[in-house]
Structure 1
Amino acid sequence: MRVLILTTDAGGGHRSVARALAAAFEEVSGPGCSVRVVDFFLGYAPFPLSRSSQVYAFLMRYPFLWNVFYTSTNLRRNRAWNAPAVGLAMEAGMGRLLDEHQPDVIVGTHPMAAPPLSALLYRRGKRLPYYTVVTDYGFLHTWWAYPFGELWFAPDAGTAQHLTRAGIPPERVIDAGYPVHPRFGQRTRTSAEIRTALGLDPERFTALLVGGAAGVGPIEEIVEALASRPAPWQLIVVTGRNHALKERLEEQMGRWRVPVHVEGLVDDMPSRMHAADVLLTKAGGSTTSEGLTCGLPQILTSILPGQEEENARYLTQLGAARAATSPQAVRAMLQELANPQSTLLRSMCLCARRAARPRAAHEIARRVLERGQAVTALPLSPFYGLPLPRAHRVIERLPAGRHLRNWLR
C-alpha cells in the first residue's frame, strides 16, 4: 500500500506529526507499505501559497498581525469563500502531486490540504480515502472541520467533541491522542549520559529552552534572565532555523554564570528532552505533546493568540504546565521547580506522565491500514458551501439547471 502524508512547514508541528506518522506506519505495516511525506505547498501551490512557510515565520514575530490573520480566517462564513478559492488555486498542483506519487491512501496533517484534494477528486470523478490528523488541542480553527474525509483523529476527547460540534459526524471522529515520534517514548541513554555527551554537568538540574522550529519567542531575553546570575541549573537552548539568534547567543557564552549549551536545528530532539528536567517552550501543540511523552513539566514562555491559547489552556488544566510569559516570571518558576524539595515538580511530572499517549501515532497508522482503500466519503464540489442563492435561482431556469445546481453544492 502506498501512503501519502500531506504536510507543510508553515508551522513546524505539522512536519513533526507527519514524521511521527511515517515512522509509525513503517513499524506497524512492515516492508509492504510505502510511505512518503510531501509538503503540498512547496513546488505545488501558486504564489503566495507557495511561500506559506515564510509568511508564517514572519507572522510569528508579530503576534498582533498573527492575531488579525488567525481571527479573520477563523470564521465559518469566511471559510465558505476561502476554501473554494484555495481549492481552485491549488487544484492543478494537487493533480501533479497525485500523478507523481500515485497514493492508495492520503493522510493530512494540515487542514488546507482537504479543499484542493477534494476539488481535484471531484473534477476527475475519482475516490481516494483521506484522513485528517489534528495537530492542536481544544477549540480548533474552522478549517480543521472542512467536511471531507474518512476519519478525523483528534488529540484528546475535548478536541474530538469540538469537531463534532463543528459539524463532523461523531462516527468519523476518533480520540487517538497526539502523534509523536516513537523515539520520544524510547530512552536508550540516561539523562546523565546525554548531558555528559553535550559537555554539561551530568548531575545538575537541566532546563531545555526551545522556540519551535523557527526559533521564535523571547529566547534571548529568557537566556539573559536565567544565565546572567548564578543559579543551580544549566541550560540547553535550541534555536531551530533562527541562525542569527544562535550566533548572538554563542557570542555571549563567556559572560554566562551558568552552563549553557546552544544548538540550532536539531535532528535528535528526543535525546535533548531525555536530558532535561523541565521544558521551556512556546505553546505549540507538537513540542508540548513531545514533552508530555517524555514526562517533562513545562513552562510556557510565549503563547500566540488563537490556537496556542487553546493549547496552553489544555496543558495547564492537565496540571503539566504553567504559563510564565516574561523572562522574570520564567526565572521565578524555574527557581521553584529546581528546588530539590519541590512538590510542584513532582506533581507536574506525574500529570505529564498520566496525560502522555506515546502510542498515538501507531494507533492512527493501525486504523488507517485496517481500513485499506475503502472509501465512504465522497469528494465535494470545488464550490461546496458557497452562499450563491441568486446564482442558484438563475441556474434553475436554465436547461439542466438542476444538475448544475447540484454541481455547485
Structure 2
Amino acid sequence: MGMRQLRIMILTAGYGEGHNQVSRAVEQEFAARGIKDVFIVDLMKEAHPLLNSVSTKLYLKSSLTSQYGLDLYGWSYYWTRGTRPGSSLGKYFNSLGKRKLKALLSQVSPDIILNTFPFGAAAEAGNELDVPVCTVITDYTLHGRWTHPAMSRYYVATDELKYDMEKKAFASAQQILVTGIPVRRGFVLRNQGAGDDRGHYQQQEIPSGDRAHRNKLVMLSAGSFGVPQQLEEIVRRLLAAGNCRLAIVCGRNERLYARWSAMFGGNPKVEIFGFVPNIHEIMAQAACLVTKAGGVTLSEAIALRVPVFIYKPFSGQEKENAVYLAGKGAATIAESAPELSRQISRLLDNPAEEMGIRRRMSDLCKGVAAEKIVSDMLELLESRLRVTV
C-alpha cells in the first residue's frame, strides 16, 4: 500500500464553521504530502437531515435565546458533559449516523478515519470494519461525547486536556497526542515569518498608513454578537476613544454586512467586510480581536499571537474555552460594552501589556497541529501495515 494510494475520510458537522475549517486544514496537509484521496463528509447532514437542521438552528440561535434566559444549548451541553459511552445516553449518541457511515465506508473504503466532531458512531463502525479512527478535539476543555474506548488516537489542544482524559479514564497516555487545534495554512504561513512585527504584511483592502497606526487596528467578528445593538454600542465607544481603527467582519451574513455598511460605511476609521477568504491577512494586522470563543477561532488568534477579547461568551464549550484561555492570560472576558471598551483601550495604550499577552500566547502554541496529526496518522497506518505483513 503506497502512501499516494491512501484514502482518508474526515467526518465533520455544520454546527458553526470551526469543524469544517479543521477538516480543510488537515485535508490541505494531506494534499501537501501528495495524498489527494481525502473525503470530507458532514455525517449528521448525510445521515439525519431533519435532526441536523433542527440541531443547527438551535446552535445558531443559542446566542439570541441566551439573551432572554432560554439557554437550551448551554443546558444540553452541561447535562451531557459527563456522558460515558456505555451509558444509555452514550449509546444513543454513538448510534447517530452509524448505519449511514457503514454504507459510506463500504463505498469509499478508507484506510483511516478522522473525527473533527464527536461522532461515537465512527469508532464503533470503524472497529467493526477494522478501520482505525482518530479524533481531533476542537475545544480546550473536555466533553464526554468526544470519547469512545475504540478510538485509536486523540489529538488535543493542551497538556491539561490530556491529563483530564487520563484522570477520568477516558483514554491512556499512549492514545493521546498534544498537537494543538489545526488551523488553515494561511495562519501557519503568516506565523512562520511574523515574530511580533505585523508591519510587513501586505494589506488587503485595509487603508494604508504609518506603522503605529496600523498596529492599532481592532478586528471585530460581527457574528459573535447575539444582539446587533451591542456591537453598535461597542463600535461607537471605541471610535469615541480615538485610538484605533476598526475592521468589522460579517462573514457570509449579507444582512449584517448591509446593516453595518449603512451605519458606518462612510467613516474613514471603519472598514466593513463580508466573506474574506484570506481572513488571516486582516487578523495578522490587528492589535486585537473581538470574537466568540470557538476553539478554532481562538487557535487562529494564538497562531498569529493576536490578543483576544471575548464578549459575553455563550454557555457551553465557548464559555469553557474562554475561561481556560483567560486563566492563561491569553484572552480577556467582558460582560458589558463599557467594560469591553475600557479593556481594549487599555491594551492599545499599553504596548507592554500587549507584548506580554503575545508572549503568553506563544507559550500556548504547540506548533503546526495539522502536520503533527497527519504525521501521526500515517505512522499509525504504517505500524498496522508492518503488523499485517
Which TM-score tier does this pair reach, normalised by the shorter chain? 0.7 to 0.9
User: Aligned partners of 1:277 and 1:219: how far apart in 2?
Assistant: 23
Letter in 1 for 2:207: G
- 2:3 maps to none
The count of corresponding residues between Structure 1 and Structure 2 is: 365
- Rg larger in 1 or in 2? 1
Q: Is the 8 A contact 2:44 2:52 kept in 1?
A: yes
Q: Which residue of 2 aligns with 1:337?
A: 347
User: Does residue 367 of the first structure (1) align with residue 376 of the second (2)?
Assistant: yes
Aligned equivalents of 1:31 and 1:78: distance in 2? 36
Residue of structure 1 equivalent to 2:262: 251
CA apart distance, 1:7: 0.8
Q: Where does residue 148 of structure 2 map in the other structure?
A: 146
Give 1:92 deviation, angstroms. Answer: 2.4
CA displacement at 1:157 relative to structure 2: 0.1
Distance 1:246 1:226, change over 3 A: same
Moved over 6 A (4+): none
- Partner of residue 304, structure 1: 314
**One-letter amino acid of the counterpart of residue 37, structure 1:** I
2:29 aligns with 24
SS in 1 for 2:27: helix
Gapped runs of 5+ residues in structure 1?
377-409
Indicate the SS of the match to 2:289.
strand
Q: Distance in 2 between matches of 1:131 and 1:26?
A: 19
CA gap 1:220/1:148 in 2 versus in 1, 3 angstroms: farther
1:198 aligned residue: 206
CA distance in 2, matches of 1:94, 1:308: 28
Equivalent in the alignment of 2:97:
90
The aligned amino acid for 1:271 is E
- Structure 2: gaps (5+ residues): 1-5
CA distance in 2, matches of 1:355, 1:294: 12
Q: Does 1:346 align with 2:355?
A: yes
TM norm structure 2: 0.85
CA–CA separation in structure 2 for the residues paired with 1:171 and 1:355: 22
Name the SS of the counterpart of 1:41 in structure 2.
helix
SS in 1 for 2:47: coil
* Higher relative contact order structure (alpha carbons within 8 Å, sequence separation ≥ 6): 1
Cα deviation digits, residues 227-282 of structure 1 (max 9, x gap)? 352512111111234332222111102575x6111222332121121121111111
Deviation, structure 1 residue 142: 1.1
1:10 to 9, 15, 20: 15
Asked if the contact 1:74/1:142 (under 8 Å) is kept, the reply is yes
Aligned equivalent of 1:317, options 324, 327, 337? 327
> What is the DSSP-based 3-state SS (H/G/I as helix, E as strand, rest coil) of the residue aligned with 1:48?
helix
Report the CA distance between 1:201 and its aligned residue.
4.1
Q: CA RMSD in A?
A: 2.6
User: 2:201·2:281 contact (CA, 8 Å) conserved in 1?
Assistant: no
- Secondary structure class of the residue paired with 1:251: helix
Partner letter of residue 162 of structure 1? D
Q: Select between 101-110 and 341-350 the one with higher mean Cα deviation.
A: 341-350
Query: How do 1:5-404 and structure 2 match up within 5 A?
Result: 5-27=10-32, 30-63=33-66, 64-76=71-83, 80-111=87-118, 113-114=119-120, 116-121=121-126, 125-138=128-141, 140-167=142-169, 168-187=171-190, 191=199, 194-195=202-203, 197-199=205-207, 201=209, 203=211, 204=213, 205-210=216-221, 215-218=224-227, 220-227=229-236, 229=240, 231-253=242-264, 256=267, 259-339=269-349, 341-372=350-381
Distance between the aligned counterparts of 2:300 and 2:361, measured in 1? 10
Quote how far apart the aligned CAs of 1:286 are: 0.8
Distance in 1 between residues matched to 2:329 and 2:95, nearest whole Å: 44
Q: 1:282 to 1:156 in 2, by over 3 A?
A: same
The 8 Å contact of residues 4 and 37 in structure 1, kept in 2 or not, is answered as yes
Measured in 1, the distance between the counterparts of 2:229 and 2:29 equals: 35
Q: 1:202 to 1:224 in 2, by over 3 A?
A: farther
- Mapped to 1, the partners of 2:15 and 2:294 lie a distance apart of 13
- Name whichever of 54-63 and 164-173 sits farther off: 54-63
Q: Is contact 1:179-1:359 (8 Å) kept?
A: yes
Measure how far apart 1:202 and its partner are. 5.4
Change (3 A) 1:219 1:21: farther
Task: After superposition, give the CA deviation of every residue in 1:28-75 in whole Å (9 maximum; x if it has no partner).
Answer: xx2245222221112222521354333311223323222222122223
